[in-house]
Amino acid sequence: MTGREFRRLMMIYGADLRRWPASRLAAAEKWQAAHPEFGGELRRTAEMDRLLRDVAPLVESSRVDRVMEKVLRKAEEERAVPELPASLLPPFAVPLRVPWLQRRWAPQGMLYLGLFFLGCAANLAVRLLTAETPLDLWFASNLSLPLGG
């Protein structure tokens, strides 16, 4: 047995060697006798075992019965309330899920869409105002339909 294995078993099973697996008990006792420097670690582990063993408070059975009675009563009350179908909910009830259209067209998205169209309009205005051809000629050539005449 190695020191690392002894520590691992001590952390798993505690300082009382009687709780250790029978297959490892003889090797652990032999290793402990050969290495007395682990006595301090064994004492600290025994102290931790004692603290963990003594930590559970005593609870009166009447208190446990009262708590269980309240829990069962609350569960029965919740089970007794019938759930209304969605068609009977009042019109002012808040929906549990937000429809996908409302999530898709959020105010932030509308802001970005408005900025996009504003940029397009500004680009068109700059191109029209800085064109080399007169504005009337540009409108006539770009916005008229060729009707074969």
Q: What number is the average pLDDT over the span 11-24?
A: 86
- Residue-level pLDDT at 116: 95
Residue 135 domain-assigned (yes or no)? yes
Q: How many domains does the chain have?
A: 2
Query: Measured between alpha carbons, how far is residue 98 from residues 63, 66, 91, 101 in Å?
Result: 44, 42, 15, 8
Q: Does residue 133 sit in helix, strand or coil?
A: coil
In this prediction, residue 51 carries a pLDDT of 85
pLDDT at res. 99: 66
* Structural domain harbouring 135: 105-142
Question: Are both 2 and 51 inside the same structural domain?
Answer: yes
Smallest CA-to-CA distance from 6 within 116, 24, 22, 18 is with 24
For residues 108-132, average pLDDT: 87
Q: Quick check: 46 pLDDT over 80? A: yes
DSSP 8-state symbol, 94: P
Q: Which two tokens stand for residue 48?
A: 């931790």
Span of 13-27, 56-70, 127-141 with lowest mean pLDDT: 127-141
Q: Which of 82, 97, 115 is the last residue of a domain?
A: 82
71 plus 1 within the same structural domain: yes
pLDDT at residue number 94 = 57
Q: Give the model confidence (pLDDT) of 50-102 as tens digits.
A: 888 887 777 888 999 999 999 999 988 877 766 666 655 565 555 566 666 66
Q: Are residues 78 and 123 in the same domain?
A: no
* Under 8 Å between Cβ of 66 and 41: no
Same domain flag for 73 and 119 = no
Cα–Cα distance between 17 and 10 in angstroms, integer?
8
Question: What are 142's two structure tokens?
Answer: 């770009």
Mean pLDDT of the region 12-26: 86
